[in-house]
Amino acid sequence: MTTVREALNESLQACLRESPEVYFLGEDILDPYGGAFKLAAGLSTQFPDRVITTPVSEAGIVGVGIGMALRGLRPVVEIMFGDFVTLAADQLINHAAKIRWMSGDAARIPLVVRTPMGGGRGYGPTHSQTLEKHFLGAPGLRVVAVSDLDDPGALLHHAVFDDNDPVLLVEHKLLYPSTILALDNAEAYDIERQGNGYPGYFIKLRGSPETRLTMVAYGYMATLARDAMRSLAIEKEIFSELIVPTQLSPFKLDFLCQRASQTRHVLVIEEGTQTMGWGAEVSAGLHEAVSSNLRVGRVAALDMPIPAAARIEAQVLPSVERIKDMALELAV
């Protein structure tokens, strides 16, 4: 049983093994520590020259990654907590995302910046956030999110070797210890993969009758949505389906629109704050594309910082119960 952490760690090892152009940079990533979330365990022992521990300089190390990529390397930069990615916002938005295009496509930046986002660990307002919403829609930057489905390591491998543009790879920290749900052994679910490099997934309960609600969620929220889907079926006999994208930006709405025009009810679930977020964009796009008789609901974090104390942290972040409540409100 492979966990998401093991899959990503093995993928990093494979990337470093496959090409001398791959470098891995980040804070506290050397053995025996192996990174704050242990994604780097064993890497510096095997590849001492290409696993580089850095100063506490998030903007600086993303810039270093951009420079390496411009000179023919394929760097992976770890930002220890996703919350710190704001420190590198200038590097991502004004440099990584623009250099190719503003040079008239005369330069390429095969850079991967990977970072753990998300709450549920009691780390408080500045170590629990889901901040990718601020980077979605930045032209020239791809944003990809790992889930516990299929092969998270393949996503990383694809970003490193097949994508010549900068990628912000978002990993929810609660997913790291999760066991991967393989497509051919997916408990009560039928899971269909769509696309190859950054695939989407279409999930239904095995043997489910016609569905009347389409949920869409990425990252750890897809795990909660899956639980909600099962519970709604068992407890309320409401049958739903779930779409799990991995590429968040640019976002492709086609399949979601196709499903929405069948079920006519869509629930968009995200862990970021609700206002002006991913769900707002998905919802707007759906309403533009599916013209009539469509109901869209959203579940997201409350529009406030994430508190440290467990009891109130749980109030702020989305939960299976909130997803179920909103599903009932929409689809009843």
Partner 1 sequence: MKKSSQNDADLYRKMLRIRLFEERLLEMFPSGQIYGTTHTYIGQEANAVGVLATSQAGDVVVSNHRCHGHFLAYGGSMQALAAELLGRETGICGGRGGSQHIKWENFFANGILGGTVPIAVGMAFAEAAKKGNALVYTFIGDGTLGEGVVYEAINMASLWRLPLFFVVENNRYAQSTPVELNLAGDICARFEAFGISTLAHEADDVLEIMRLAQDISNSIRAGEGPHALILHTYRFAPHSKGDDTRDPDEIARYRARDPLKAAAARVQQAVKGEIEKSVAAEVDEAYACAENDPFPAAETLTPPLDELA
Which residues in this chain contact partner 1 in the complex, by CB under 8 A? 23, 54-55, 57, 59-73, 75, 90-91, 94-95, 97-107, 139-142, 158, 162-165, 195-198, 250
Structure tokens at 306: 């994430």
Nearer to partner 1, 104 or 207 (CB): 104
Nearer to partner 1, 107 or 284 (CB): 107
Structure tokens at 58: 């998030």
Instruction: Report, in Å, the least distance between residue 217 CB and partner 1.
Output: 22
Instruction: Report, in Å, the least distance between residue 102 CB and partner 1.
Output: 5
Nearer to partner 1, 85 or 306 (CB): 85
Nearer to partner 1, 89 or 320 (CB): 89
Beta-ladder partners of 303: none
Instruction: Report, in Å, the least distance between residue 280 CB and partner 1.
Output: 22
Q: How many residues does the chain have?
A: 332
Nearer to partner 1, 53 or 231 (CB): 53
Query: Minimal CA–CA distance to 215: which of 199, 226, 231, 200?
Result: 226
Q: Is the dihedral of CA 117, 7, 56, 98 positive or negative?
A: negative
Distance CA 149, CA 220 (A): 10
Largest interatomic CA distance in the chain: 59
Query: Minimal CA–CA distance to 248: which of 299, 287, 200, 295?
Result: 200
Instruction: Report, in Å, the least distance between residue 90 CB and partner 1.
Output: 5
Instruction: Report, in Å, the least distance between residue 145 CB and partner 1.
Output: 15
Nearer to partner 1, 49 or 210 (CB): 49
Instruction: Report, in Å, the least distance between residue 103 CB and partner 1.
Output: 3
Long-range contacts of 229-233 (CB under 8 A, 24+ apart): 229/203, 229/205, 230/188, 230/205, 231/320, 231/324, 232/324, 232/327, 232/328, 233/205, 233/208
